[in-house]
Amino acid sequence: MVELFRDQVLPAPLIANPGCYTSTNVLALAPLIAEDLIEQTAQRADMTTDPASRCPSMD
């Protein structure tokens, strides 16, 4: 995650990043954790599909 670990990421030959839900939670909580305002948290992110836009399929 470049936003938090730029010095470690820049020299890396390959980089893998988490998905958008995970990134949003980590970036939102990082300042709170850095200032010891919270110790531990559990996050949940759900995605729903709008039936008007597309239907899920196994294809």
pLDDT of residue 45: 78
pLDDT of residue 22: 86
Buried b (16+ CB within 10 A) or exposed e, 25-59: eeeeeeeeeeeeeeeeeeeeeeeeeeeeeeeeeee
Q: What is the pLDDT of residues 12-59, one digit of tens each?
A: 998 888 888 888 889 999 999 999 999 888 888 777 766 666 666 666
The rounded distance, in Å, linking the Cα atoms of 2 and 9 is: 6
Tell me the three state secondary structure of residue 58.
Answer: coil
Residues 1-13: what's their mean pLDDT? 90
pLDDT at residue 59, as a whole number:
64
